[in-house]
Amino acid sequence: MKSNYLLLSALLLSMGSYAQQITVNFEEYEPKSTLVVPEHITTKAKFPFIDVHNHQWNLHEEKENLDKLITDMNALNMKLMVNLSGRGWTSDEAKSTQTLTKQIDQIKQYYPSRFAVFTNIDFANINTKGWTEKAVKTLEEDVKLRGAKGLKIYKNLGFSVKDGDKLVRVDDPRLDPIWKKAGELGIPVLIHTADPERFWQPVDRFNERWLELKLHPDRKRNAGEKSNDFTWEQLIEQQHNVFKKNPKTNFIAAHMGWYPNNLPKLDSLMDEMPNMYVEIGAVIAELGRQPHTAKRFFEKRQDRILFGKDSWVPSEYATYFRVLETNDEYFPYHKKYHAFWRMYGLGLSDGILKKVYYKNALKLIPGLDKSQFPE
């Protein structure tokens, strides 16, 4: 009897110990793949490239900032960086103008062929008389007098820009002259509208962005839940209204217009709007999980896709190069909360890579030094 008791106790202790060992939550679970397949870790792009979606906040400060940036860019084979944050992040017009001017002057002095700067619009006083005319005038001066190469619209338009207590629509008619002026100036508008659609969905076990929303709850959108926020569908429709109303202006939809997970839909939209271009910043994980569909999309839309990254973390570019250039199988993304799945390389042809890496950007953005890129 006693021996049976001791045996049962030992068994229970053993089971408890085993259960303790296998208690792992989703955030911690990082299995090491046992798959044996060819790997091509690509830390430098096959061809020189232009990153059309980057944010730098100190290009107007010490030259050492530029020197460090150039060293990192050279290691990646990035020949030209587009800084979309030309006016910084302030509603002080004099200060933002000074930031833009100093950035461009600093670049011209030290590395004139390696950077392009986009300007921005401050929507803070959109409800004041004469705001539209002043915004148009500033845009024209930024391009013609100061040297800006394009216009970047942040996602605050549609999210937080208000006229009184009412959100301003992306397609607000007061903005029409700005879009028109950009077309007349021959500059592209890179516009970020909305966020991934799942940010508007319940944070439950069916939501692919569950972990991201758990770690970053401020990214959750609550349209329809005692909120005046626009829905995802409304924001995307407003952006497309702008594209359609301004066929002579070229628009670059940031993050593939938040349709990287629905390329057939994006393809149909690009048919409908010939002035719509896309860049791949922060959505490479979506492309890498559908290599066959994504490759077909790149083959068809090769003249209207640009390379972009968004956040400046040099080590993360390797993921982009690997997805675009190789035929590797089943490899991880660099941020689990963006993508818990594995990815596959698209193995794009040299001709398509050249277009995505630099030719399309050289076509869209005026005044770039083409001599540092092959034919």
Query: Given a cut of 70, is residue 19 above it in pLDDT?
Result: no
Each residue of 225-277: pLDDT tens digit?
A: 667 899 999 999 999 999 999 999 999 999 999 999 999 999 999 999 999 99
Residue 137 in tokens:
């005038």
Q: What is the mean pLDDT of residues 300-329?
A: 98
pLDDT, position 226 = 67
pLDDT, position 329 = 97
pLDDT, position 366 = 98
Give the CA angle between residues 203, 209, 211 to the nearest 5°. Answer: 80
Model confidence at 9, pLDDT cuts 50, 70, 90, reads low
The type of residue at 243 is F
Model confidence at 27, pLDDT cuts 50, 70, 90, reads confident
pLDDT, position 25 = 81
- For all residues of the chain together, what is the average pLDDT? 93
pLDDT, position 235 = 98
pLDDT, position 2 = 56
Q: How far is CA 320 from CA 307, 309, 332, in A?
A: 9, 8, 12
pLDDT, position 59 = 84
Q: How far is residue 135's CA from residue 124's CA, in Å, rounded to a whole number?
A: 11
Residues 6+ apart with CB under 8 A from 56: 69, 81, 83, 85, 312
Contact 235, 194 (CB under 8 A): yes
Query: Given a cut of 60, is residue 10 above it in pLDDT?
Result: no
Each residue of 35-86: pLDDT tens digit?
A: 899 899 999 999 999 999 999 988 888 899 899 999 999 999 999 999 999 9
H helices present in the chain, as ranges: 2-21, 63-76, 93-110, 131-141, 156-159, 176-185, 210-215, 232-245, 263-272, 284-288, 291-300, 317-325, 350-354, 360-364
